[in-house]
Structure 1
């Protein structure tokens, strides 16, 4: 499997880069699945429905978010109906949207995408380490790959996820 992860797409310049480069990159590199962080895609803060659909049309399969998820209030109108838009899983229970999803790859295999947001210099969120184990356990035998996007400001909070 060839997976491409794109970090923060920031505003119009970031979206323009995706438009110019992504379709060609997918074709040339035979990319199977594209995950992109879109939390800053609308002018550096949040995302809109139009931008979400444009990114999907350009070849992005899943959009993850972060601490700017709610900066564009219109997200509340569509986040529940778009399963490929993943907000941080460590928002409190009852928060609109979903924090993870399982998606099909072109070869029929499955990939789970889980999104978390760190807590240092961020909103007051639940500890990401409290739920990741439960989710991984529930995915056993149901997916071939698991991709975790941990959006954070502090490197020392990201290192435990990779076993360092």
Structure 2
């Protein structure tokens, strides 16, 4: 016996919406969750949640369950008086930025925008990268990719990281517990 059924496909335009929201989607056009087991209603963009058939073919009880989970996540965001963001976010030094936008291409959260630097006469001097601190999750991918070294994470400049390494070596924590400096 052969049973043929019409395939379920995502809503037309979902890929355009996903691109505007900086949300990833699969080859079939369904929106991807951040992690299928640990974060099933969250996307890779902070504050954007998924529920129901936009993520995969689902029945009504499953869609309602996911909608409840997404609503709980949203209520969690607004449970405090102030919305908390990642404490360590990327910062671009406009003086050093060459405008190559490698950082924008690799940012998994879509947190890098283009910023036009103009003089007092409103003449365009150059276009540089700018970090949207509300979206940035502090992963450091942009910093690792930047060829001009113009991107740094707040609280994690190269000098600060090297100072931490040197401090660990000095106390012996960085060399198998032998103690002292090598």
Normalising by structure 1, report the TM-score: 0.24
Structure with bigger helix share is 1
* The structure with more radius of gyration: 2
TM-score w.r.t. structure 2 length?
Answer: 0.22
Query: Which one has the bigger strand percentage?
Result: 1
